Amino acid sequence: MTKKNEQRSARRKSLLTGASVIAAAAATLGGAPAFAQDVQEEEAIVVTGSRLVRQDFEAISPITTVGSDQLELTATMTTDSLLNELPQVVPGNTRTSNNAGGEDFATVDLRGLNFTGNTTRTLVLVNGERVPASSTTGVVDLNTIPASLISRIEVVTGGASAVYGSDAVAGVINFVLKDDYEGGEVNVTYGAEMETGNVAEFEINGLVGGNFANGRGNLTTYASYYNRSGVFQSEYDYSRVSAAVCYDGAVEPSYFVCDSVSEAIANGWLASPNLPGGSGTPPWGTVSNNPGNAFGAVGGGLSVSLPGQFAAANTDCNPATAGVAVNSGNLSFNDAGQLTPLFGGGYCRIPERSAGSSRYSFAPDNYLILPGERVALTTNGHYDITDDITLSVLMNYSNVRTTNQLAPTPATGLTITLTPNMRNLIQANAPDLWTALQTRPNPYAPFTMSRRTNELGARVGYSENNAFYFMAGLDGSLGENWDWRLMASYGQSHFLQRLTGSANRSALLQGLAGCQSAEPGPDGVLNTADDTGGAIPGLRAGCVPLDIFGSNTLTAPMVNFLSTTTFSQTIVEENRIGGYLRGDLFELPAGPVAAVFGFEYRDQQLEFHVDNEQKQGNIFGFNALQDQEGSIDVYELYAEIAVPLISEAPFAHYLGLEAGFRRSNYSTVGNVDTYKIGGEWAPVEWLRFRAMFNEATRAPNVFELFQAGDQGFPSYVDPCNGAAPVAACAGAPGAANLPAGLYPFNQNNTQVQAFAFGNPNLTPETAETTTLGFVFQPDWFPVGDLRATVDWFDIDIADVVANRGANFWLLDCYANGNVLGGCARITRDGTGQVTAVNISRANFASLSTSGVDVQLEWSVPIGPGQLTINELYSTLDSFDFSGLELAGSTSAGINSAFPDNKSVLSVSYNVGDWTLFGRWTYTPGMDSSFLGPVGGFGFDVGTTPEASYFDLSARWNVTDNFTLTANIDNVADEYPPLTADGTFAQANTDVQVYRVLGRTLAISGRYRF
């Protein structure tokens, strides 16, 4: 490499990888703060979060770095698992996200600002450049970035849109990959839970590189294979039952998680009527009682017609309670296939089948940790075309596969039509049910059931993400103080998903009619004894009458008729070109005025396609989805400037300003301007104050703009309920009209069918982010080296894109009289019931957060080695979503844990060929934002327990070429506590806060050659 290129390489060196001893030590710790480096005076550096070239001074925006040593010492094989330990990060989708409800891959969420879902306010970079999204929401799959290829991770908190463009509202996470490598190495890592051997993880990777053309170029190639075994919730006591919430009004807190009847009885708890466990749709089925055609109305009641199961039924699952006679009501089946009352009250709300409950525990079929597999190939290199021009290339391909599994399909509201075929089937296979049907005033009328189709197997989703990224750049020098860069990139993400175990809706309905329609017999009246069977229009091939009356009643032909496999694919393509000119404008007494002038163009084409069964909503257990397609392109110009005002003066070792501006022109929302302005003042060399204000933006993504009517079933309240006609309802136009003749009127259901659409008129979200802090690094500290930063942050986002749900549009029509708005979105049937509401998004919400980040590092020689202590600590003063304060609370869901504070303490000791490492992570208890006082229920569920974990690692350089590393996570072997909100989320606990595995061990070996 030539002298000029050496200088140019030095100019590009990140602030976070400078030459100081303390920075090198920090790489072995939990995220290290960014400090000034002991560089030569002429050496310039570039800080993530800015493209400015600097001369030996601090980053104004707070930065945290995770080095490759920590990735190695913590046996990190997936990047999300390490990032989620950082105090600034609220866990998004992880390896535990079995029923994510959004993206089916790993995500990252700085400050929890992805709270609204289906979007990202954290920008992910690789080597300082954008990478293509993995879905129409703009989110990047972190699994496509292999942990073992990462040289370091740089986390910039606070808005950075003026530097990087849209989405950098909460900040930026920059994955810097290994490059410029000479030699070769092979790494092998294996880990698993120590006691059980569960969740075995294995990775093998290799890195080889070398110089060519007499040192003018270097080519580095990396390949890896990773595999993780999954584990089901059935493997652990805390998660094997879909628990209920019990209560005891005599104590505080008064609500408890209970997963067995004997436990509840022994503690004197009562099963809460509002918070039952498991599902009311079991694989043995439930039969709904119609009050207008009730069971037991004829013949003296069911206790007379079926005395064996109804004369002395244990309806509360309490063995100490005497049985009672049951003459009517909802019904179910026991394990012998006999008809029984529906046992769903009292302790039967706990889904314990052996205690007699009719409820179903779906937990055993669900993954606790998802299985995963990844293959990755990366090549990067550079070549000095001339002494002043360098060509660089990066090519990356990854294939990531994950599997999630849910309990078998719950099919609810099934109408069984008593055609001749179905009458024969029920009389032969479920005689008790036939007897009960005859106790109704109209014994041949249809009836309604719900049943889970366990014979079809669990609902298994197979996801595969093929991601390819190519980037080429030219870097050059213009004299001693100016350099330039031109780059172009292309990326594609192809995400495929296959879902098995679903039940075809039309097949189920046809089979439950016995593959024939009911036709009136000689008496000319339908639903009487002489009905005949007719042909069903559009009858599916292979139709067979279905037996769902009890457990395991669907035969192989029935299963073949019902089973449906569905498919979806997401294709994201992105093209980018950009460049900048960077250098010193002129010299001031305090130093040069540095500036950057740049441009960028990018276009995204995004497509989401599903099969016809999903489009038509023709599957049970999943809502209908529609194709989405759209494109966005943006032209951008930007500039940054740094002005040194005073240098080397009394009480002003350094005083300077920094500013930036970006003009973006989107094809969807037009012109958007962002800017930043900040400053720093160092009264003395070892103390520096810094401040930064950013106006950041997020342009709407394709999903928000172009969603095409995906189906959902939200809760709602009909404003037209009442005994007397409501004028606004009777006067509403079109399909929203509720005629006065239908009163008195009450809604039948608590949920309504809703179709969600995008909004092409959305505007960008705007955020004002402010950081104020100081850096303390005394060269006079008496013992060792001390470095510390304290930064206050405040982020306020306006015009947040959020859903306007069914209730909003109902009120918009009937309370506000908005004919073209709410009324046009509502459809009622002939009985007046709301059958559908078209919902959409708008820029109407607000989101804000504030707090303090503290980073402390102390390194001191002790004995023959070096001891380094690093502390990352964050406090959360506020997290407010449209007036709802969530700081200090959790709902146990994804992107929903907001502790008042969080701490990561790391200690390392380097001596000779050994490195010893320990880490303590701590999260305090939180209030419930779902069941508790923060949420809508207001139950006294108490505060969740704290999460405190210790990890230990040791690394031994056995020879110059071979290194062994051992890591033990969760040394105390702590399993997660049960939380009330967790019964509505996953595994009866908060998997975003607590580790779901006990003590785990990982061993890795690295051989260099």
Q: What is the pLDDT of residues 843-877, one digit of tens each?
A: 888 999 999 999 999 999 999 999 999 999 999 99
At residue 554 the predicted structure's pLDDT band, cuts being 50, 70 and 90, is very high
According to DSSP H, which parts of 181-278 are helical? 261-267
Contact 390, 364 (CB under 8 A): no
pLDDT of residue 144: 82
Q: pLDDT digits over 100-139, tens only?
A: 655 567 788 889 888 876 678 888 888 888 888 877 777 8
How do 889-890 and 927-928 pair as beta strands?
parallel
At residue 551 the predicted structure's pLDDT band, cuts being 50, 70 and 90, is very high
Closest CA to 643 of 631, 632, 655, 652: 655
At residue 61 the predicted structure's pLDDT band, cuts being 50, 70 and 90, is confident
At residue 621 the predicted structure's pLDDT band, cuts being 50, 70 and 90, is low
At residue 937 the predicted structure's pLDDT band, cuts being 50, 70 and 90, is low
pLDDT at 752 over 50: yes
Mean pLDDT across the chain, nearest whole number? 88
pLDDT of residue 100: 60
pLDDT at 8 over 60: no
pLDDT at 192 over 90: yes
How do 628-649 and 331-333 pair as beta strands?
unpaired
pLDDT of residue 432: 97
Pair of tokens at residue 281: 């749709």
Q: pLDDT digits over 388-435, tens only?
A: 999 999 999 999 999 999 899 888 889 999 999 999 999 999 999 999
Q: Which residues, at least 6 apart from 727, have a Cβ–Cβ distance to it below 8 Å?
A: none
Mean pLDDT of 920-932: 90
Listed by start position, the domains of the chain span 244-361+410-452
Q: Quick one: DSSP state of residue 365?
A: G
Q: Three-state DSSP class for 812? A: helix
Mean pLDDT of 969-995: 93
pLDDT at 97 over 90: no
pLDDT at 699 over 80: yes
Phi and psi at residue 628, to the nearest 5°? -130, 145
Go through 51-80 and write b for each residue having 16 or more CB atoms within 10 A of its CB, e for each that does not. bbbbbbbbbbbbbbbbbbbbbbbbbbbbbb
Q: Is-cis flag, bond preceding 253, omega within 30?
A: yes
More confident residue, 956 or 936: 956
Q: What is the number of other CB atoms lying within 10 angstroms of the CB of residue 289?
A: 18
Residues in a beta bridge with 570 = 495, 608
Closest CA to 825 of 843, 844, 840: 840
pLDDT at 203 over 80: yes
- Give CA separation, 68 vs 148, 492, 964, in Å: 8, 27, 15
Phi and psi at residue 444, to the nearest 5°? -105, 10
pLDDT of residue 936: 59
How far, in Å, CA of 187 to CA of 77, rounded? 11
Q: Which of 62-66, 399-403, 576-580, 986-990 has the lowest mean pLDDT?
A: 62-66
pLDDT at 19 over 50: no
Mean pLDDT of 213-238: 95
pLDDT of residue 27: 37
Residues in a beta bridge with 986 = 989
pLDDT of residue 772: 96
How far, in Å, CA of 816 to CA of 97, rounded? 40
The DSSP-derived string for 976-997 is PPP-TGGGGSBTTB-TTTS-SS
How far, in Å, CA of 78 to CA of 201, rounded? 10
State in Å, rounded, how far the first CA of the chain is from the last one. 23
Q: Which residue has the tokens 């063995």?
A: 319
Mean pLDDT of 525-545: 95
At residue 24 the predicted structure's pLDDT band, cuts being 50, 70 and 90, is very low
The Cβ-side half-sphere exposure at 548, using a 13 Å CA radius, reads: 33
pLDDT of residue 784: 93
Contacts 24+ apart (CB under 8 A), 596-600: 596/51, 596/52, 596/638, 596/639, 596/640, 596/641, 597/638, 597/639, 598/51, 598/637, 598/638, 598/639, 599/635, 599/636, 599/637, 599/638, 600/165, 600/576, 600/634, 600/635, 600/636, 600/638
Residue type, 407: A
**Overall residue count recorded for the chain in this entry:** 1009
pLDDT at 1003 over 70: yes
More confident residue, 487 or 116: 487
pLDDT at 16 over 70: no
At residue 28 the predicted structure's pLDDT band, cuts being 50, 70 and 90, is very low
Q: pLDDT digits over 356-365, tens only?
A: 999 999 999 9
pLDDT of residue 36: 33
Q: Three-state DSSP class for 283? A: coil
pLDDT at 164 over 90: no
Burial (CB < 10 A; 0-12, 13-18, 19+), residue 606, is: buried
Q: Which of 589-593, 682-686, 804-808, 901-905 has the lowest mean pLDDT?
A: 804-808
pLDDT of residue 21: 28
The DSSP-derived string for 476-526 is EEETTTEEEEEEEEEEEEEEEEEEEEEEEHHHHHHHTTTTSEEE--TT--S
Maximum mean pLDDT: which of 67-71, 635-639, 881-885:
635-639
Q: What is the number of other CB atoms lying within 10 angstroms of the CB of residue 936?
A: 8
Q: Quick one: DSSP state of residue 441?
A: S
At residue 20 the predicted structure's pLDDT band, cuts being 50, 70 and 90, is very low
